[in-house]
Amino acid sequence: EAQVTQNPRYLITVTGKKLTVTCSQNMNHEYMSWYRQDPGLGLRQIYYSMNVEVTDKGDVPEGYKVSRKEKRNFPLILESPSPNQTSLYFCASRDVFEKLFFGSGTQLSVL
Amino acid sequence: QKEVEQDPGPLSVPEGAIVSLNCTYSNSAFQYFMWYRQYSRKGPELLMYTYSSGNKEDGRFTAQVDKSSKYISLFIRDSQPSDSATYLCAMRSGAGSYQLTFGKGTKLSVIP
């Protein structure tokens, strides 16, 4: 089944403790991206990647890192999480017809 | 002025009603327009995609784009309880642009 898989689904952590949210797609898509979704602010793009080893900042990249060492994986790294990064995170990949496939989301709480 | 404006609702309609969801935008460079549907605790899924002014129909859904007015709409005919979700408009500028700008979403409830 074609899908974008992100883990974990729920994560509670404390300020300053490094964490990684994994994202993997099995559709051989070149383009992948990360979004955060907050009430009243909608979906905002954090980082995107057009291909292996090619990444670029979205609208809200501060406090996040990404890497794209393989086509299928695009992890999101929070080196020193802060409470304002409490949010619902989505990973997505895009096919050649512009269709975005989203993962099921990661609800992150930073205490 | 925000780039994309979308009424957050919530919008509550009876089953069978025609629903109209709208977005306005300020960036005249936007050329590609999408509507996504997001069920609670799920990722958004693409409903409609269009790049020209006019109407595009897919079953009970019609996407309408008016570039001169910088206004897009999604119409849902014969609405069903299963249409209850948040609807997000999204748009991007031309070839070579990879960034999507999303509206904040309109929450729709269709009451049986």
Q: Which helix (H) or strand (E) holds A26?
A: none
Report the pLDDT averaged over residues B21-47.
93
Nearest CA in chain A to B106: A42
Q: Is the pLDDT of residue B7 over 90?
A: no
Nearest CA in chain B to A46: B99
Q: Which amino acid is at A107?
A: Q
Which residues of chain A lie closer than 8 angstroms to B56, CB-CB? none
Size (chain B), residues: 112
Label the pairing between strands B85-92 and B71-76.
unpaired
Closest CA to A104 of B57, B44, B99: B44
Whole-number percent of chain A with pLDDT over 70: 100
The per-residue pLDDT for B95 is: 65
Q: Which helix (H) or strand (E) holds A86?
A: none
The per-residue pLDDT for B59 is: 96
Integer Cα distance of B70 and A108 in angstroms: 35
Give residue A87's pLDDT band: very low, low, confident or very high (50, 70, 90). Answer: very high
* A38/B contact by beta carbon, under 8 A: no
Nearest CA in chain B to A37: B104
Which residues of chain B lie closer than 8 angstroms to A58, CB-CB? 99
Nearest CA in chain A to B100: A45
The per-residue pLDDT for A97 is: 79
Minimal C-alpha gap between B90 and chain A (Å):
10
* A39/B contact by beta carbon, under 8 A: no
Which residues of chain A lie closer than 8 angstroms to B100, CB-CB? 45, 100
Q: How far is CA A16 from the centre of its chain?
A: 19
CA-atom Rg of chain B in angstroms = 14
Give residue A72's pLDDT band: very low, low, confident or very high (50, 70, 90). Answer: very high
Q: Chain B residues with CB-CB distance to A under 8 A? A: 6, 8, 32, 34, 36, 41-46, 49, 88, 98-100, 102-105
* Averaged pLDDT score across all residues of chain A: 95
* A96/B contact by beta carbon, under 8 A: no
Minimal C-alpha gap between B79 and chain A (Å):
24
The answer to whether the CB atoms of B102 and A44 lie below 8 A apart is yes
Q: How far is CA B22 from the centre of its chain?
A: 6
* A59/B contact by beta carbon, under 8 A: yes
Q: Which has the minimum average pLDDT: A3-7, A52-56, B51-55?
A: B51-55
Q: Is the pLDDT of residue A86 over 80?
A: yes
Integer Cα distance of B103 and B7 in angstroms: 9
